[in-house]
Amino acid sequence: MEIAGLDAASRVLGGAVLGPPEIAAALGFEVTAVLDDAERRAVARIPFQAAELERAAADGAMLVLRVGRDVGGPLTMLRLAERLGGGLDPKVHKGVGYLLRDEWTIDDQPFATTETCPPGWRLVRREPLAATLNRTYRDQDTVLAAAGSNASAPHRRSAVEIAFDTLCWQRVHGERLLGGHWDWSRSETTDRGYVALGEFGATIMFAGSLQRVTETLPLAIYAEFARSFDVALAIGALLVAFSFILLLVVKWLRFGWTSPFRFVPSTSA
């Protein structure tokens, strides 16, 4: 498939491209086989101007052609991992739950079972914007909004878009993205959290937190470090106190109203 402007874009971006040949190498099918006529026309030329590509190159961005299906059907996150022969941490298929919330696995989450990438060309940063690190979700939204809405500006991706970009890039270029950071997506879990993905090692891992809705104390501590160390320290102290009280309650439930502390009398003469 001939793409107008692709060679020029690749030169500007220093080869940081996931185009039809790279997608075929990563996923094992030709892009033209899964696009309809309208989609083929839409991707037949690079939709970005030279200035946008130069700005993207300065930001360390890559040019990605995303597709929403393979020859067998929708290219969901689970299907993507299947085609790649891995890529998702095996733990995501085991129950995840906390406090009084039901456990869930990735296998029953819409972000992994039904969401797909809208087909088309995208400019994508290889790492999250530095100003968004160690911030809450809403604070990140404020930073992203201030960054602008042009094609090369950072924006939130869906969970499957993050997985597509990260895993295909690693397969083709041998570079692991998100090795030291989580990227918070716009995709929700069934317990109303937002999915965050990071590639710590060879597999994608997940986390989710929505402030004051699905936020756990450890994630709250992490978020507060960027704003107030005193608040983070106070939450940490609360977590320690709660853990100690919980241990006392468990002791009481197991042994009744006996002291949880044991003293051994001295045997010295």
Q: What is the pLDDT averaged over residues 234-238?
A: 84
- The backbone region for 114, taken as left when phi is positive above 0, alpha when psi lies in -120 to 50, beta otherwise, is alpha
- The backbone region for 155, taken as left when phi is positive above 0, alpha when psi lies in -120 to 50, beta otherwise, is beta
Q: What is the pLDDT averaged over residues 253-267?
A: 51
Q: How far is residue 268's CA from residue 99's CA, in Å, rounded to a whole number? A: 47
Q: Find the range with the poorest average confidence among 59-73, 192-206, 210-224.
A: 210-224
Q: How far is residue 164's CA from residue 177's CA, in Å, rounded to a whole number? A: 12
Q: pLDDT of 85-101, one tens digit each?
A: 877 777 777 765 544 45
Is the pLDDT reported for residue 134 higher than 60? yes
Task: For Cα atoms 224, 226, 227, give the angle at the middle one, nearest 5 degrees.
Answer: 65
Q: Is 121 in contact with 152 (CB distance < 8 Å)?
A: no
Is the pLDDT reported for residue 201 higher than 50? no
Question: What dihedral angle (degrees, nearest 10) is formed by the CA atoms of 82, 185, 110, 41?
Answer: -70
Q: What is the pLDDT averaged over residues 55-68?
A: 94
Name the token pair of 237: 């102290």
Residue 262 pLDDT level (bands cut at 50, 70, 90): very low
* Tally of CA atoms within 13 A in the half-sphere of 183 that contains its CB: 27
Q: What is the pLDDT of residue 214?
A: 46
* 21 sits in which H/E element: helix 20-27
Is the pLDDT reported for residue 183 higher than 50? yes
Is the pLDDT reported for residue 1 higher than 80? no
Q: What is the pLDDT of residue 178?
A: 83
One-letter amino acid of 35: L
Which has the higher per-residue pLDDT, 56 or 178?
56
Q: pLDDT of 157-169, one tens digit each?
A: 999 999 999 999 9
Q: Please tell me the pTM assigned to this model.
A: 0.73
